[in-house]
Structure 1
Amino acid sequence: MSKTSRIFLQPHTAVVHQENMIRSRRGFLKGIALGAAAVIAAPVLSRASAYAAEAGGNKVLILYFSHSGNTRRLAGQIHGRVGGDMVELKTVVPYPQDYDAVVDMAQKEQQSNARPQIATEIPNWDEYHTVFIGFPNWWGTMPMPFFTFLEKHNMGDKNVIPFCTHEGSRLGRSESDLRKLCPQAHMLKGFEVRGSRVSSAQKDVDAWLDGLGFPARN
């Protein structure tokens, strides 16, 4: 069904490349600006350091937010490879299922710098040494519930590994936002994949995790 296009522009951002997206409101999230110019290169831990979280007996957490289900499936692929605990970040007031409605809501939350109330509790937060942060790219970064969560949960010097689904925006400025929210954390190389390719992304996921030092489980 055809939807009216509304392209959201930000400084140092790029408009989506595919013309068939431009006339679709779906271009809101698919064509969100990358913001790559604003991202400062992050230090990457060695393979041994990255895997030390699990090898040393510390827990791995895969914390994700998913609306359409794509990020949930990607989180499952990572979990199947590295193990640990997988937790879905949920809000007290669920986001609407209607695509147009969630697009508008996501825009308003970001413009007002909102902090949606979250329902997810992680009582054993301090036990985790490595935390994967998974999300769909909404308006160039993480959905605002992650801002709520990370302002309430001190990441300290944990390893932080972002991963996201998108339709053209890649990681956007999410890595930069994560560094601001978790200034003492060790940021490892993130992973991004188009939502339409998640079902066939396992080989790419494995290659990424190999590079971080997470060997395949027996």
Structure 2
Amino acid sequence: MSDVSESLIVYFSASGNTKSAAEKISRQTQAEVLAIQPATPYPEAYEDLATVGKKEIDEQILPDLAPLPMNLNAYQTIYLGFPIWWDQPPMLVARFLKEKGLVNKRVIVFATSYSSTIDNSLQVLKKWTENTAVEILGGFLANNEQEIQTGLASWTD
């Protein structure tokens, strides 16, 4: 990737771990950063958040997105970040992919989780984007500086 100005980091973070990873990736890639949020904020208490997140996954509920302040069309590469919930991306990410399309974009995924690998999340993302023009290239865990450096090295020139 020679023109980093064509990259954007889009992430959802519930506890701040994915936000921290997005900021570290931004420092290394010089890409802009955009947080996505649900239109109705998630509960702050972990147990309440877990209840809502699990219900969304179990019932395939796509929460509405809060409005985004920028146009995604100007970017060629989208780094898409999220925490792994129950071995998959949060349903908010499904809503983002459905609404924003990301047609003709390079989508590189990064995720935070200390108990799950990224493999199942990538399969879920590919299922969510099948029969669309969205191409999920692959991804990496981003729990620490080493994982981020290794992951980025796989996707940047």
TM-score, scaled to structure 1: 0.65
1:206 aligns with 2:155: no
Where in structure 2 are the equivalents of 1:16-165 lying within 5 Å? 51-52=1-2, 54=3, 59-165=6-112
Superposed displacement of residue 157, structure 1:
2.3
Conservation of the 8 A alpha-carbon contact between 2:141 and 2:147: no
Conservation of the 8 A alpha-carbon contact between 1:171 and 1:192: yes
Q: 2 CA distance for matches of 1:209 and 1:111?
A: 32
1:181 aligns with 2:124: no
Conservation of the 8 A alpha-carbon contact between 1:62 and 1:133: yes
Structure 1 unaligned segments of length 5 or more: list them.
Answer: 1-50
Structure 2 unaligned segments of length 5 or more: list them.
Answer: none
Superposed displacement of residue 122, structure 1:
4.9
Conservation of the 8 A alpha-carbon contact between 2:42 and 2:49: yes
The letter for the 2-side match of 1:84 is A
Superposed displacement of residue 117, structure 1:
1.0
Superposed displacement of residue 123, structure 1:
4.0
Conservation of the 8 A alpha-carbon contact between 1:134 and 1:162: yes
- Aligned-pair RMSD on alpha carbons? 1.8
Q: Percent identity?
A: 28
TM-score, scaled to structure 2: 0.89
Residues 119-172 of structure 1, C-alpha deviation per residue, up to 9 Å, x if partnerless?
A: 131542111110011000011111111111111111222111111111211225
Q: 1:167 to 1:207 in 2, by over 3 A?
A: closer
Superposed displacement of residue 181, structure 1:
3.2
Q: Give the length in aligned residue pairs.
A: 155
Q: 1:162 to 1:146 in 2, by over 3 A?
A: same
Conservation of the 8 A alpha-carbon contact between 1:137 and 1:172: no
